[in-house]
Structure 1
Amino acid sequence: MTTPRVPLSVLDLSTVSDGGTSRDALAATTALARRADELGYTRFWVAEHHSMPAVASTAPAVLIAHLAAHTGRIRIGSGGVMLPNHPALVVGEQFAMLEALYPDRIDLGIGRAPGADPVTAAALRRSANGDPVEQFPVDLADTLALLGRPAPGRALSAVAQRLRATPAAISSPPVWLLGSSTYSARLAGELGLPFAYAHHFSTGQTDAAVATYRESFRPSEALASSRLVLTTSVLVAPTVAEARFLAGPSRVMALSLRTGRLGPVVSPDDAAAALAELERTAPAQLSALLAELPGTQVVGTVTDAVAALEALVDRTGADELMITGTAYDVQTRIETLEHLAAGWGLHAPDAGERGSAAGSAQVSG
């Protein structure tokens, strides 16, 4: 067994497959989280998206509570809570309660995007006045203060000065800033927060964001030195051909996001047929777009995947990698985690370790 160079974690969106239901998607997320816990992954984060036919993860705090109750050791968190959609006090109260129920197992990842189309985003907004995105640094500072982690040099609103998220906290969840641009990287650095960059978005800004974060980082009470997680999409199978076949649905999903034709995750067979038809009939512009969409960034055998992930760590100096991906069947995701755990040399905790936190939310009567 090799020694892992950096920890591995998991990001999941609770995707809905063609013919499946929201219940099926959430059950699959639960199964994936439990297997990640058993295999020795460090953390398991869930996303916040709204009004998307293929995503059932709309309320991270609710799902986090469920997953924490069904796992024993792995950290459970948000990747992330989209702060423009929520009052800072609500987010603070939710995660202070989660921390009290599952101490030292909760992560609060915060993002600046709405995680929705403009109409849905408007419906989520709590006020028609002002721009919630422009308000983001203030709301972030308020959330940190409400959780007992005040941001250095940031003024607080009257609400944050007067209120607190929970009456008598003995611990608070670490707050991560999420992003896919240099804006969030710079803000995370200036506030001395750990930063999770969405490398799986394939925006081409990974190197710039990493450099910006490190250059702007200022030590804080929360963090003495920079802490960087990169999220990348991975699918592993015994052969390259099988991996490419199983990654087909992710290519169709990537294309649907670009063209606005959203739908559930299709099967590998349906994906292969759809991609072949598009390549045959699509205009040149669409064909070029299809050729540029990887869907999943790392596709191949476990040897291929480990080499690609090692290269990403070498290039960026990431302190941790977070694995995500789109697949029709949760078993495909589970097998990817199993292959990577073995190839990366993760330590699988024994039953005692996995169960040590399982009773943390129980109240004696």
Structure 2
Amino acid sequence: MISRRNTLKTSAAGILAFSAGGLLPATAQPADASQLTSGPGPDAAGLQRILDEFAGSAASAVLAEVHDAGHVWRGTSGVSELGSAKPVAPSGRFRAGSITKSFIATVVLQLAGERRLHLDDTIERWLPGTVAEGNRITLRHLLQHTSGIVNYTNTRPFRMLYGTADQVVELRDRTWTPFELLNFTAAEPLLFEPGTSWMYSNTNYILLGLVIQRATGNHYAQEAGRRILRRLHLPGTEFPGRRSTIAGPHAHGYLPREVGDQIEPVDITSFNPSVTGASGELISTTADLNHFYRALLTGRLLRPAQQTELQQIRTTGRLYDYALGLQTRLVNGTRLWGHDGDIFGYQAATWTTQTGQTQLTVAYTPWGQADPKPFTEALLTTTFRTP
């Protein structure tokens, strides 16, 4: 256990997120030695150094894959389970959280390209009576988080259920339906007039999952599986639905539990992700996410009109701006596209240049005394170097 005074603030925040350094020595698993030389491609030595520092102070496990100039580098650091010396698998699977939203948005845009729906259709058109102001909110508003609908994970009733590690553990096997999740926002007014402002809301993508089902007759996971996962051959990616376990190699995720004046890790690897549904249930790998975003950004998944729609940017006032299911930001003068994600015990981020030539996907299990953000930013600036 570690001192309560030094508990990583983002570990504690992770109990409600959908947004012990020094316990064990970091066990580095770098790429082949031939990849640790200077020259074209990724700065392998620099990236590995960041991963080792990351795992030494802010995460129990971290893994990353970088594509650059036709070269691929994979690195890991830390341990796959606290209390063991088992290394992190470079091909390990992890919960990807809100990265799910890019997959859901892609399916919706594909349906728009097939004229099975229109982005300016209202919620009321597809889900009559589901949202009080549904006749004023469009699918485009949902995709871009300009609907004004409250984020269900930010509501008081939800936070009363999932406010502590013990509560999360108690509910770890509960199955939630989309309509039960929507009920958390039933009494909440809109935050703003639809289309006039921006606020991230997981509720938007719960609704989009239902729209996909209404438009196709199939669950969103079936449609995403057929249209994306099988089409791109993404063997490590799945929508687990109600299944709590992660198949294949994977690192364990943890939440902090207070025990007196100490903090102990609670293993939350096994968890029913239906509480996130279409907003965050995805399990994937670094290789699969790089493959998906490269295909998406280079036009392999959408028709030209929808490709243009995909990248219509709305400013947010945050570190990133938002398109349709995509975050976008500038790093060293280069525009990047991707998404980050977090769910109990796991966090990930994936970024791709417009051409798909340079990419970074990193996943980690937060645990330690430091903030993970400086490490993820260092990975970004090292991967996407000044042109």
> For the superposition of Structure 1 and Structure 2, which TM-score range results when normalised by the shorter chain?
under 0.3
- Structure scoring higher RCO (CA < 8 A, sep ≥ 6) equals 2
- Which one has the bigger helix percentage? 1
TM-score normalised according to structure 2 size: 0.21
